[in-house]
Amino acid sequence: MNRRRLLQTVAAGTAVLAGCSSTNTESTATATPTSTGTDAELPGGIYVQSFRESMSMQGTADAGSYRVAFMYTSPHVFWNMTGRERSRTPRSGDIHAMAVVWDRDTDRIVPETGLSLTIRRGGDLVSEEVIYPMLSQTMGYHYGGNFSLAESGETPSDGQYTARISVGGVPDGVELTGGYAGRFREPASAELDFSFTETDRDAVRSESIEQAGQPGALRPMQMEGVPQATAPAVDALPGTVFGTPNSDDAILATGTSSARADGDDTYLYVSARTRYHGMVLPAMALSAERGDGTIELTRTLDPDLGYHYGATVAPFESGEQLRVTTDVPPQTARHEGYERAFRQMPPVTVTV
């Protein structure tokens, strides 16, 4: 898939979420800090974000083939991506609403489904928005955005609200293979009641991180009953892995599996994940160059390989060079600590 087509597909079928970082940490602070480092002071690639934050987990529900979780924290600053360019979205609204979508059968996160959120109170519409996929250090890939619970300038009412989460389905640009073939294309929805009270707000706390701005990343959080968007371990990938090169702090685990191709061909795959914790990096356009030409790799979701980029090709010769090029970096929003990574992504080479 070429650069323009991928950007059009991402814009139409998914979009990019506000950065959320959440963990169950006790603290007295209630506001989400803003990074004090300037671009010149921060390292290239991934760096430790400036805060660790708790959230208010509101529950899970079934939605067709999916299960969804809904939670919120305080509003966030985040960065949207258009191609390789980033744009900063300021903190706004009353909550940063978040949702996680996964397969009910395998407990695997399902990226690129597209998602919208409608919030009502007592039957009255409060807010309705498309919320976007994004990457954060502690939650990995998920959906979210900053939402208001009252008219502009007014204080939101304490009490019960209802969130309707509408999942659009995986777009045609993502191939579904193995046990996922024929699934996840249909839209689905779920409703969850959630509470917004002083007690809930007091539970959303934030603390500053001493190592902020240093190379590295906060440890992913654990949410009971909610899976993390991690790529399969390299030693669990099928077939032969030729290498795990680093491109702008994206690890591109590259290999082949003859079991995934017909006849004498082989299946070439790239399993892309974050450098420190192996979080999935979706919504990219990748290609590979070998002696006889260029191979476009297809975004693919598979129960064994997880979300990856792949193509069926003629077998490789031992010692052959394979150059993997990122034509479009991950078209997902980024939370603080990820906004400088996975952008330029120079080509990498592996030896078969």
Which residues of the chain have a pLDDT value below 50? 1-37
Q: What per-residue confidence (pLDDT) applies to 10?
A: 40
Which CATH number does 234-351 carry? 2.60.40.2480
**One fold for both 47-215 and 234-351?**
yes
Whole-number Å distance between alpha carbons of 18 and 130:
11
Residue tagged 């064994």 (tokens): 304
The span from the CA of 20 to the CA of 133, in Å, is 11
Nearest Cα neighbor of 146 from 117, 104, 180 is: 117
- Per domain, the residue ranges of the chain are 47-215, 234-351
Q: What is the pLDDT of residues 280-315, one digit of tens each?
A: 999 999 999 998 799 999 999 999 999 999 999 999
pLDDT of amino acid 40:
59
- Second CATH level (architecture) for the domain 47-215: Sandwich (2.60)
Q: What's the pLDDT at 230?
A: 95
Whole-number pLDDT of residue 55: 86
Phi, psi of 260 (to 5 degrees): -105, 10
DSSP state of 197: S
Instruction: Please tell me the predicted confidence (pLDDT) of residue 223.
Output: 87
pTM: predicted TM-score of the whole model, two decimal places: 0.87
How confident is the model at residue 58, as a pLDDT? 93
Q: What local confidence, expressed as pLDDT, does residue 150 receive?
A: 87
Q: Are 287 and 301 a contacting pair, CB within 8 Å?
A: no
